[in-house]
Amino acid sequence: MPATVGELLDGAEAQIKASEAIELWRPYMARLEAASLLGFVIGHDPEDAGEVVPAAAHRRFDALIARRITGEPAALIIGTTSFRGLELRTRAGVFIPRSSSESLAGEAVRRLRRRKRPVAVDVATGSGPVALAVGSEVPAARVFGVDISPPALSLARANAKRLHIPNVTFLRSDVLSALPKDLAHGVDVFTVHPPYVARSMMSDLPAEIREFEPETSLTDQSEDGLGLVRALVDQAPRWIRTGGWMLVEVSPDLSRRVGALLRRNGYRDVKSHKDSLGATRVIAGRR
């Protein structure tokens, strides 16, 4: 007997919630993921609960849910994810953009819009979500995204080209080593979402992260997860403008340590910013 949209979403939501491979930040996200996967299959948002889903689409949806409950992220299954209104391509082997990073991009945009011909550098840029959002929302800015991963940079450049965002340049760089020399003392905002999982905590991650994200995007192999942040703070004085900002996204439990690190290195106006779920995510300091 044909199934309806409502019936399929109810069943898939229950399966996602029951999966031990998935860690849901909020219970309602199971329904959102199910709807996203069903919409991908039927070609439109599944808004009508009574809509009958054809048998072939039903089978395809079941196959996608079977992949999801093993831990495979929905963004990899679909091949795209949304970030501040931008549709970004995703690919196995490249860190999937997180909605939590939207607040990092927003804090950068807010500061850059106040400046003439601003410069922004996004460190550990991955597929480029923060750099591309900043470039899109502040077209007068010169934006650089740096990363050590060639696959990530290839995807970031492809995203920039497909989205027609010409003011973002992606560079392969060990922290800031590859920045153009003419940026010295000219960077208005640094952003970084570092690989902040402590080495000893890697085995505690849920399967959907541990098995489907590249290890280098999760940990810098330091004991406290802040190795890259320390390296960035150490290298930044050569590049950051007086009055420029350092914006660091970490898990809430690391926010106090990052704030202390910035203060020890001469940053003032150090503040914590909460994301849309009310968790402290972005630590900001002015040089």
Q: What is the pLDDT of residues 80-137, one digit of tens each?
A: 999 999 999 999 999 999 988 999 999 999 999 989 999 999 999 999 999 999 999 9
Distance of alpha carbon 34 from alpha carbon 74, whole angstroms: 9
Dist. CA 224–CA 202, nearest whole Å:
12
pTM for the full predicted model: 0.93
φ, ψ (nearest 5 deg) of residue 30: -60, -45
Q: Which of 256, 247, 246, 192 is nearest to 224 (CA)?
A: 256
Give me 223's structure tokens.
């004991």
Give strand ranges (E) for 212-267.
240-249
DSSP string, 165-186: -TTEEEEE-STTTTS-GGGTT-
Other C-beta atoms lying within 10 Å of the C-beta of residue 55: 11
Could you read off the pLDDT of 134-147 as tens digits, one per residue?
A: 999 999 999 999 99
User: Could you tell me which residue, 87 or 23, shows the higher pLDDT?
Assistant: 87
Q: Which domains does the chain have, with CATH numbers?
A: 3-71 (1.10.8), 91-286 (3.40.50.150)
pLDDT in tens, 26-60: 889 999 999 999 999 999 999 999 999 999 999 99
Q: How far apart are CA 44 and CA 239, in angstroms?
A: 46
Q: What is the pLDDT of residue 274?
A: 77
Residue-level pLDDT at 280: 66
β-pair partners for 189: 120, 245
Q: Three-state DSSP class for 269?
A: strand
Average pLDDT over residues 264-272: 95
The 3-state DSSP class for residue 234 equals helix
